[in-house]
Amino acid sequence: MKKIVYALLGVAVLAVAGFLISKALQSSLVYFILPSEYARDTAAFEGKRVRLGGLVQAGSVRFDDAKLHLTFQITDHLKDYPVQYDGAPPDLFQENGGVVIEGRFHDGVFVGDNLLVKHSSDYHPPADGEPIDVDALKESLR
């Protein structure tokens, strides 16, 4: 009889622990989507925090130095959306460059609070005989 009670208590503890872990994971998940994926099913992402990935549309970047307010269009060449971000853009941020911005959609505008720049992992060393700018190298390592 004691074995059955212990087994039931063990199952109950595991069930509660599984439920709590499941709830914690659901609240911390952030989906990665493209603009066209959002356009296909806007209701599925309504009010949810997402990572929106795509390219910065050429000619769309506006940055207010005084207010540190950045706006641009993000596109996947199928659909594009306006983006608002408060803060200085990363150094590698550029038109036609890949970005991932984390935030929420609000009235058709993506309001982001974390901006990441996607970049190539390719490294191209200087060509043979090309001088290395030592000062620039030191600065890049700071």
Arithmetic mean of pLDDT, 34-40 = 92
The full length of the chain comes to 142
- Please report the pLDDT score of residue 71 as a whole number: 96
Arithmetic mean of pLDDT, 41-69 = 91
Give all domains of the chain, ordered by start, each with its CATH number: 30-117 (2.40.50.140)
Distance CA 14, CA 8 (A): 10
| pLDDT surpassing 90 at residue 63 | yes
> E strands, the chain, where?
31-33, 50-56, 62-64, 69-75, 80-86, 98-106, 109-117
- Please report the pLDDT score of residue 44 as a whole number: 85
Arithmetic mean of pLDDT, 74-88 = 93
Arithmetic mean of pLDDT, 94-121 = 88
- Please report the pLDDT score of residue 10 as a whole number: 87
- Please report the pLDDT score of residue 138 as a whole number: 63
- Please report the pLDDT score of residue 45 as a whole number: 85
**101: confidence class by pLDDT, cuts 50, 70, 90:** very high
